[in-house]
A and B are shown apart, each in its own frame.
Chain A
Amino acid sequence: MIEVSFSVNGAAHTLRVGPGERLIDVLRGRLGLTGTKEGCGIGVCGACTVLVDGRAENACLVPAASLEGASVVTVEGLSTDGLDPLQQAFLDHHAIQCGFCTPGLVMSARALLDENPEPTEEEIRTAIRGNLCRCTGYEQAIAAIASVAGTGARALLDEQAGLIRSSARLEAGVPFARTPPTSTPAPEGGDAR
């Protein structure tokens, strides 16, 4: 056990930590900061991404004993004073599904924009490639990050193009189903439109 002093989201902590203890264990287990997630425990999924002295790090790989003097920021520390613009952008651009990867993604994006406020789409992709997301396909997250940076992303263009929608009603005058309609039986038990 050794004693380390460091700050998390601006608050100072002095803790005695064991040799196998990781930053993620300190955050989740001892400080109750459960916004940082564990998806793999081996540094490949990025769900545990936090800022250590401004750099994006996988908290599952950082030994707690190495934290002396460090300044750690977690997702909880981003929104002390209203949402971080990135968080708002994730909401606005529908960049969230199950949300398990979201805190890590947002932290990686924060580290990127702190260092490079106007990244290209390729730079955004590179910065978040260590953050695995099984749900979203990343496009809307990239759009969210690009919108904060004020740079472009292809998914942003899709959004600006509006709803990509075709239907008999909306495509004026062009009926889609060209085969003659057959009689439609009324559904039982429900459709009350």
Chain B
Amino acid sequence: MQQDSFHVVGSPTPRVDGYDKVTGRALYTDDMSLPGMLYAGCVHSRQPHAIVEVDPTPARSVPGVVAVLIEKDFPKPQSRYDWFYCTSHPRYRGDVLAVVAAETPEALEEGIAAVRVGYTKLPAVFTVADALSPGAPQVRAEGVALGEDGVPDPERPGNIFPASYKPLRKGDLAAGFAQADLIVERTYDTPYVEHAYLEPESVLVSPEGADGVLIRASSQQGHTPQDFVADALQIPMSRVRAVSTTVGGSFGSKLELVGLMCGRAAVAMSATGRPVKMTYAREDSILESTKRHPFTTTVRIGATADGKICAYQASQVENAGAYNNQAPWMNIRARVHSAGPYDIANISTDTYAVYTNNTVPGAFRGYSSPQVIFANEMAIDELADELGISVVELKRKNLLRRGSITATGQQLVHETLLVDMMEDILRDTRYEEKRAAYAAEAGVWRHGIGLVTAYRGAALGGEGVDASGAMMTGMQDGSFVLRPSLMEFGQGLNTVYAQIASEASGVALSDIRLEPVDTTVMADSGLTVASRGTAQGGQSVRMAGEAIRAMIEETARAMLDAAPDERIEVRDSIAWIEGRPDRSVRVSDIWTMRRYTGRQLSTYQWYSARPLVNDDATGQGEAFQTYAYGVCVAEVSVNTHSGEVIVDEVSAYHDVGHALNPALIRGQIYGGILMGMGFGLYEEYRLEQGRSFDDNLDAYLIATAKDAPLVNIRLYECDDPEGAYGAKSLAENATEMIGAACALAVKHAIKRPVRKIPLTPEYILELLAQGEACV
């Protein structure tokens, strides 16, 4: 990759959607209205597990109420994503019992209040421990129990979600432990976390033509609303069209719930023949949207006295809630990364999800990695404490390097910067000096510093099929339309796509217009997840740009009478003969020529990532095409009287492969740091008997501008051939290390082992009262 030869990628290009957003002109779903449109909403269960009788009659007589739908009005009450559109057997508080559609928002509110629900309570179970205990009520018929060997047994009924079980087996665990001079075993817990995107979910479904349906929705995915609506109405997908809109943040969550809302609105549309908009209030959003999976992780590590880790065993158990559509895929990533970025010969880990009558967790930025990194890094730190050596020394001995074999048996063949990045951040933050100085503190305020080292499989890898399409069409005036198939929902993907298309084609950035994802135009290219949009999704955009460049060159060659040995250059929508700027032609003239000579004016390209082979029984194989490396240092002040924590400074160093838009990357990192701090220190969606009082942003607190620490960012580039123009992943990497780094810093400040997050003031005071000091 010749860095210097790039003209568009690598620059901090302003966002292509910035003008519309800063002027308030960008239309989010709830900003749109249609003539004759009804307002719809849902009646949610007030019991975590019950059989209900729903009486819609009183609601139907509320003036302005047009339809009240209950389970029997749905052609197919259960979606093909496990959750129900509408049910009379709620399995958590959040299941929908009725859907109301009305002429006005006021009538809707009255109608929802008038729906009568009679509950017959059923036994429910909420914690993983209770759900796994013998005799626990079985939440889902497909659930299984653990066998004698600690592995889920398909023959025994229980609460483990069988498809979520992902074992990892490498080397010989018993032999590894036999080599150990010291074995440390610890258990760590992480909470439910709310995504808290600023835009609550909204969908607008309307009749299109004689028998079609048009969907506009605040969806993280362009195509899944189509899938849900065809499923809910039981009609062919070809009759359902979804066109993406501006989405106000998602972070993994605007998938299942938005799809279900589309299905419910579609059934209401079909019952009334009118367009239906369903916009959730924040309370409904928090009640029914997915959360981060809480993990309970037990780690057992064996090491030699000089700090070489020789065996690693873990069980990573998640609360799956009442339905679950994500754990089978998320746990592939949780398995791959279960032993951390360390070179360990003998590993055995088990990862699985457990059904309960709690809120349903789903994908959340990181997709298990913040939870896995927390447990892994805390355990490594406690191992260093027990060994009496510095954790830095321990890391130097065990971190992955180029040529190392990962937990899945994959050799790291590309540049592996991890150790170098760690040495840099240690030097830049004066980590070891501060660590020693803080240890001597005795005042009310204590300081702490924590270091996290991490690696992350870039893009989807073995979690799924990483393929995508892109289309680019030129007009005779030289303007172009680019149609991607993955979604812009705030992360900046369309800006990077415009840059990639411009770089690849030679068409000026200002001549490329991005269009929404439209299911009638673009084929389903899978989910916009796994930080794959740029690195892998960008490949089809690059190919589309390259195909356009080839067309430009072909016609320029003819128009400029180029000799066979003369090369055509294209940049900023001008083509010329290399070294002869006087012999040039504009792309607009080229495209006019092509238009009138019957040449191809458009291209559709498909990219499928290099296939990977993995064995699901052992987790062994090439888990990802490549990995992105990160190191993070957090520095905190802790008030030992009040338990208050202030994050003073966070240094986040990321290997990004190639920074296609450094300003967007910086934005991702700033935002990711605040989200990660919340995970480590104060964010928790608290559930008691399946019920939460954290129902709006006054109870569930996220970081404000006052909470932001001083941030030091450093980006590393390297030669890695796997992603578009050498890009790796970043969006999830930006948040995954921060919670663990804050927890390590607090551990250091208060000299107490930390086994659980968030580190709220109450929990910190509890730890201080225990007086169990550590290094």
Contacts and interface: CB of A to CB of B under 8 A. Distances in A.
Interface of A: 20, 28-29, 33-42, 44-45, 47, 74-76, 78-79, 83, 87, 90-92, 94, 96-103, 106, 124-126, 128-142, 154-155, 158-159, 163-170, 176-193
A99 B21 contact: yes
A121 B248 CA distance: 27
Interface in B663-679: 663-664, 666-667, 669-675
A94 B31 contact: no
Nearest to A125: B705
Interface string B16-38: 01111111111110110000000
Contact of B715 (A41, A47, A155, A163): A163
A193 B417 contact: no
Given A39-B282, A42-B696, A177-B417, A167 B717 contact: yes
Given A34-B31, A79-B23, 12 more contacts: A28-B31, A41-B281, A83-B22, A97-B667, A100-B197, A102-B21, A133-B198, A167-B717, A179-B401, A184-B721, A188-B610, A193-B721
Contact of A187 (B19, B200, B625): B625
A139 B705 CA distance: 8
A125 B706 contact: yes
B15 interface: yes
Contacts of A183: 413
B414 interface: yes
B247 A98 contact: yes
Contacts of B27: 34
B718 A91 contact: no
Interface residues of B, number: 92
Nearest to B659: A165
Contacts of A29: 105
B113 interface: no
B178 interface: no
Interface in B618-673: 625, 659, 662-664, 666-667, 669-673
Interface stretch (B116-124, B488-496, B517-525): B488-496
A134 B719 contact: no
Contacts of B492: 97
A65 B719 CA distance: 63
Nearest to A133: B198
A171 B640 CA distance: 43
Contact of B413 (A87, A159, A182): A182
A192 B550 CA distance: 13
Contacts of B489: 98
Nearest to A32: B33
B490 A132 contact: no
A79 B607 CA distance: 42
Interface string B409-436: 0010111110010001000000000000
Given A154-B710, A166-B715, A184-B413, A91 B15 contact: yes
23 contacts: A33-B24, A41-B282, A42-B698, A79-B23, A91-B22, A94-B663, A96-B18, A98-B246, A98-B249, A100-B248, A125-B705, A134-B251, A139-B666, A140-B663, A158-B666, A159-B663, A163-B12, A167-B717, A168-B718, A169-B717, A177-B718, A189-B607, A193-B1
A176 B3 CA distance: 16
B197 A129 contact: no
A179 B402 contact: yes
A134 B249 contact: yes
A95 to B, nearest CB: 8
A184 B708 CA distance: 41
Nearest to A25: B105
A41 B27 CA distance: 19
Contacts of B63: none
Contact of B714 (A79, A135, A164, A180): A164
Contacts of A130: 704
Interface in B681-724: 696-698, 702-706, 708, 710-711, 713-719, 721-722
Nearest to A174: B420
Contact of A98 (B22, B490, B698): B490
A100 B713 contact: no
Contact of B200 (A33, A39, A166, A168): A39
A187 B459 CA distance: 15
B403 interface: yes
Contacts of B670: 136-140, 155
A192 B539 CA distance: 10
B198 A100 contact: yes
B196 interface: yes
A192 to B, nearest CB: 7
B609 interface: yes
A134 B197 contact: yes
Contacts of B608: 189-190
B546 interface: yes
B715 A165 contact: yes
A44 B420 contact: no
Contact of A189 (B105, B610, B675, B697): B610
Residue in B28, B539, B666 whose Cβ sees the most chain A Cβ within 10 Å? B666
Contact of A191 (B12, B28, B722): B722
Interface string B485-529: 000011110000000000000000000000000000000000000
Given A37-B28, A134-B671, A192-B546, A166 B717 contact: yes
Nearest to A18: B106
A81 B199 CA distance: 28
A124 to B, nearest CB: 8
B14 interface: yes
A97 B696 CA distance: 22
Interface in B363-402: 401-402
B697 A45 contact: yes
Interface in B708-747: 708, 710-711, 713-719, 721-722, 725
Contacts of A139: 666, 670, 708, 711
A96 B282 contact: no
Nearest to A91: B18
A141 to B, nearest CB: 8
B23 A170 contact: no
A35 B672 contact: no
A40 to B, nearest CB: 5
Given A99-B21, A165-B659, A190-B539, A37 B198 contact: yes
B702 A134 contact: yes
A79 B31 CA distance: 19
A163 B717 CA distance: 12
A103 B19 CA distance: 11
A88 to B, nearest CB: 8
A88 B349 CA distance: 52
Contacts of A180: 402-403
Contact of B24 (A34, A136, A142, A167): A34
B12 A74 contact: no
Contacts of B490: 97-100, 135
